[in-house]
Amino acid sequence: MARAPFHRAGEAVRRDALIAATAQCLATHGAGGISVRMVAAAAGVSAGLVTHYFGGIDDLIAATYHATGDRIGALLDAAVDDAGSAPRARLSAYVEANFRPPISDPELLATWAAFWALAGSNPAIAAIRDSVAAATRAQVESLLAACGARETRLAAIGLTALIDGLWLERSLNPATFSAAEAGALAERWLDALIGERASGGQG
């Protein structure tokens, strides 16, 4: 009985390592070239160990999608929490974190591109995409509402689309514009939506 917590922790570490290897393989080879053998080789384990923890490549990709979404969500949550209690500062922190590493990263873009490609033909992956997108919009909507924005559902859709577009362009070629310039563009949009920027956040 005393060994059970250690055993569970070991399994969690192994699963996380396989998920990390899957994300790397997706970034390098895309959705069409990935297999259990490829992930096993990248992780330095046997193919049988991969199928022991995950039923097959589809389950492994789904788990990797969830884990990637959770990791980005945690990074954004941390940025918001670090910004303090002022609503506008929290919203700005959320926006600007998207344009800095580790979220603004070519390898992460390549992994997301693989997920997007799979979502077009795999209903389970499409459902994860919709769930991740819905959670993102809900968080943005809450941040906007705290700043006094109206029609927060549509505002959240617009802001997430703006962030996604700038994130995509910056991830493809960071030399095109800086993280500060991306943040400034988004802030101008927010100023027009909410009103003059204020430390207290109510426009």
The predicted-structure confidence for 32-72, as pLDDT tens digits, reads as follows 889 999 999 999 999 999 999 998 999 999 999 999 999 99
Number of domains in the chain: 1
In a domain, 22, yes or no: no
Residue 174, burial from CB neighbour count under 10 angstroms (0-12, 13-18, 19+): middle
Which pLDDT score is estimated for 162? 97
Distance CA 51, CA 192 (A): 52
Range of the domain at 124: 58-194
Each residue of 96-119: pLDDT tens digit?
A: 999 999 999 889 999 999 999 999
Residue 165 lies in a domain: yes
Task: Return phi, psi of residue 8, to 5°.
Answer: -65, -40
CATH number (domain holding residue 175):
1.10.357.10
| pTM exceeds 0.75 | yes
Radius of gyration of the chain (CA): 19
